[in-house]
Chain A
């Protein structure tokens, strides 16, 4: 019987190959996410072309400023994430933690504004269902716009909440010194996720808030 102890088993011949495999895996996941959100985007495109005026009327009922500020907030959080990425690579632990904290806080601000918006829509009876604008007068298809609004931003918000969990975990791990310059994959891969979720919002912003 062979009793030789193998100390290190790796399917990769070097670090570059390993890093590439990690990125490939994450991009594959992102491709499935493109299709996950893609179904909603396709549904949106279909109803938007069928009822263009009603979608413009729905968009007018959303808060242009909250949408715009939230876009800026997310873009800034993406910048923090990119800076965290380079801090991790250079092994600057304090800077890494500050950048991750910034990313997390901006993500939380985004969600706070989002839930404030949801509350407003609830008060204004714009949540689809039996109590949607009970006074009447609104086109029934207006509900379609709001179904898509809640489904798309809700799915996006769910991704943000998962992202906040991941960034909080990274922050803790960085504090314990668990991220050395030679082991930055968790930061890189979480970064890919966070930037992708940002990209989804970049498209939701003109499609929901800027329809005129």
Chain B
């Protein structure tokens, strides 16, 4: 039943959108508050992890990936794969220079 319901949905209901929004604000507060306590690498890592969590929520619900086929999801993620390669090769060069 639930699966059938889900497959017929194509976008989040207003109630779901509201819950996602509240979660996003909670994550934003967490990010803002934690920046006052965490410094250096820990601070950056936490900041980026929270940003990634926010992006996941936006991609999944607001941008409808939850309701899309595997092919659309693949297209959505492929840019990040290339970005990963850019970062990997850039740092492979700079971090190994004498």
Interface set of A (CB-CB < 8 Å, partner B) = 19-20, 23-24, 27-28, 30-35, 38-39, 41-42, 45-46, 48-50, 52, 56, 64, 68, 71-72, 75-76, 78-79, 81-83, 85-86, 89, 188, 191-192, 195-196, 198-199, 202-203, 205-207, 209-212
> B82 near A199 (CB under 8 angstroms)?
no
Known contacts A78-B58, A210-B47, A212-B40; is A86 also within 8 Å of B12 by CB? yes
> B87 near A32 (CB under 8 angstroms)?
no
Provide a sorted-by-A list of 15 A–B residue pairs whose CB atoms are within 8 angstroms: A27-B72, A32-B79, A35-B82, A35-B86, A38-B79, A42-B86, A72-B28, A75-B24, A79-B17, A79-B18, A86-B13, A198-B58, A203-B51, A210-B47, A212-B40
Known contacts A206-B51, A207-B47, A212-B38; is A30 also within 8 Å of B11 by CB? no
**A83 partner residues in chain B, CB cutoff 8 A:** 14, 17
> A191 near B48 (CB under 8 angstroms)?
no
Closest CB in chain A relative to B96 CB, distance in Å: 13
In the bound assembly, the distance between CA atoms of A155 and B48 in angstroms comes to 20
> A206 near B44 (CB under 8 angstroms)?
yes
**B43 partner residues in chain A, CB cutoff 8 A:** 210-212
In the bound assembly, the distance between CA atoms of A205 and B54 in angstroms comes to 12
Q: Mark B1-42, 1 if CB is under 8 A from A, else 0.
A: 000000000111110011011001100100110011011100
Chain B contact residues: over half helix, strand or loop, or mixed? Answer: helix
Known contacts A38-B83, A210-B32; is A203 also within 8 Å of B58 by CB? no
**A85 partner residues in chain B, CB cutoff 8 A:** 11
Closest CB in chain B relative to A78 CB, distance in Å: 6
**A76 partner residues in chain B, CB cutoff 8 A:** 21
Interface set of B (CB-CB < 8 Å, partner A) = 10-14, 17-18, 20-21, 24-25, 28, 31-32, 35-36, 38-40, 43-44, 47-48, 50-51, 54-55, 58-59, 61-64, 68-69, 71-72, 75-76, 78-80, 82-83, 86-87, 90-91, 94
In the bound assembly, the distance between CA atoms of A38 and B24 in angstroms comes to 23
> B39 near A212 (CB under 8 angstroms)?
yes
Closest CB in chain A relative to B13 CB, distance in Å: 7
> B58 near A199 (CB under 8 angstroms)?
yes
Chain A contact residues: over half helix, strand or loop, or mixed? Answer: helix
In the bound assembly, the distance between CA atoms of A205 and B13 in angstroms comes to 28
Closest CB in chain A relative to B52 CB, distance in Å: 8
Choose from A27, A48, A68 the contact partner of B75 (Cβ within 8 Å). Answer: A27
Closest CB in chain B relative to A74 CB, distance in Å: 10
**A33 partner residues in chain B, CB cutoff 8 A:** 79
> A20 near B69 (CB under 8 angstroms)?
yes
> B55 near A199 (CB under 8 angstroms)?
yes
In the bound assembly, the distance between CA atoms of A147 and B61 in angstroms comes to 34
Choose from B11, B75, B87 the contact partner of A89 (Cβ within 8 Å). Answer: B11
